[in-house]
Amino acid sequence: MTSIISKMVLTAGPRAMLARRSLQAAPIVASQAAHARRAFHQTQNLRQARIPSLPEFSLQDRVIVVSGAARGLGLTQAEALLEAGAVVHAIDRLPEPDKDSDFARVAKRATDELNSRLVYHRVDVREQAALGEIIGGIAEKEGGINGLIAAAGIQQETPALEYTAEDADRMLSVNVTGAFMTAQAVAREMVKRKQKGSLVMIASMSGTVANRGLICPAYNASKAAVIQLGRNLASEWGEHGIRVNTISPGYIVTAMTAGLFEAFPERRTSWPDANMLKRLSYPEEYRGAAVFLLSDASSFMTGADLRIDGGHCAW
Ligand SMILES: NC(=O)c1ccc[n+]([C@@H]2O[C@H](COP(=O)([O-])OP(=O)(O)OC[C@H]3O[C@@H](n4cnc5c(N)ncnc54)[C@H](O)[C@@H]3O)[C@@H](O)[C@H]2O)c1
């Protein structure tokens, strides 16, 4: 994997810092380059060092649920929320990550450095009853929930002529129904307690365009559905003070894409070439968007899609 990323970065001509970080990370997808990331953000002991400027970005004492937070984008965004002051409850279908995992590192950092908590709950977002029970339990224990990032998602590359109904249903049930039911469970707690809040669902630039050379008809349709779902939930729940927005990332270096680079090496260069910055993105590049959308900094923003794709869709 190291060679894949290194080659990809060298041929894509990225910003020097990201290139250095990539070249050092071995393997970057598995470890999320924990040390490099720490150096990148310089966020140790934030509680003591926090400067009281831009208070609208603070998530101090907010309770936020993040689905798909065992790893990847969800975990990286969860760490950003913790740094901004939130208590975070992670939900994911994977068994609780072990003590050597990135998740364990972030959970330890939350208690040791950030005076906060990262709590793990194992559940499949397709299991509506169990999901509702877990989210209800979080709200009960914490006295409410202030926000959500629904990042749990799956991907499958199969030509449309070969797609089975079973696979298409699975894609839509995780990416669309799963995100919908997670948002619904959190919104129900907010409405019940008359608490305002902010919900974010992770869509994709693939919800807006068909990717050249990446054949994912059901995935792309599912992400278009997430964007449209976001607008509809925003229109229904705005009267309760609940904002709903989506984030549409471009290609991110995570476990989800790592397998595709192994199967299709030419994508190491063709994907970066397809955007204006000529490189892939990293989960850390979506930290700011998460804090912005969950905090009062975006208080008048709802029903919107925040596309962060290196200009891929803007050609
Ligand atoms: N990686 C990319 O290039 C990219 C680009 C655009 C959007 N996205 C989206 O970002 C989100 C995060 O993706 P990632 O790249 O971090 O992938 P990832 O596979 O590393 O992480 C996804 C997480 O979701 C969890 N998950 C999957 N199905 C679940 C289910 N049914 N119930 C509960 N948890 C479940 C997985 O266990 C995993 O921890 C996804 O919604 C993905 O579609 C990714």
Average pLDDT over residues 228-233: 98
Q: At what angle are helices 255-263 and 2-12 packed, to 10 degrees?
A: 80
Q: Tell me the C-alpha distance between 83 and 159, whole Å.
A: 41
Is residue 192 part of the annotated active site? The answer reads: no
pLDDT at 258: 85
Q: How confident is the model at residue 45 (pLDDT cuts 50, 70, 90)?
A: low
The catalytic position among 223, 251, 282, 286 is 223
Q: What is the best residue among 71, 256, 307, 312 to mutate for testing ligand 1's pocket, by most ligand atoms within 8 Å of CB?
A: 256
Per-residue pLDDT tens for 184-208? 999 999 999 999 999 999 999 999 9
Is residue 219 part of the annotated active site? The answer reads: yes
Per-residue pLDDT tens for 265-286? 999 899 999 999 999 999 999 9
Average pLDDT over residues 11-31: 33
Residues lining ligand 1, judged by CB closer than 6 Å?
Answer: 67-68, 70-74, 92-94, 124-126, 151-155, 174, 178, 202, 204, 249, 251-252, 254-257
Per-residue pLDDT tens for 65-104? 999 999 999 999 999 999 999 999 999 999 999 999 999 9
Average pLDDT over residues 134-149: 98
The pTM of the whole model exceeds 0.85: yes
pLDDT at 49: 54
Per-residue pLDDT tens for 111-137? 999 999 999 999 999 999 999 999 999
3.30.365.10, 3.30.420.40, 3.40.50.720, 3.40.50.1110: CATH of 59-249+286-310: 3.40.50.720
Residue extents of the structural domains in the chain: 59-249+286-310
Q: How confident is the model at residue 57 (pLDDT cuts 50, 70, 90)?
A: very high
Q: How far is the CA of 90 from the centre of ligand 1 (A)?
A: 13
Q: Tell me the C-alpha distance between 165 and 218, whole Å.
A: 10
Q: How far is the CA of 297 from the centre of ligand 1 (A)?
A: 26
Mean pLDDT, the chain, integer: 87
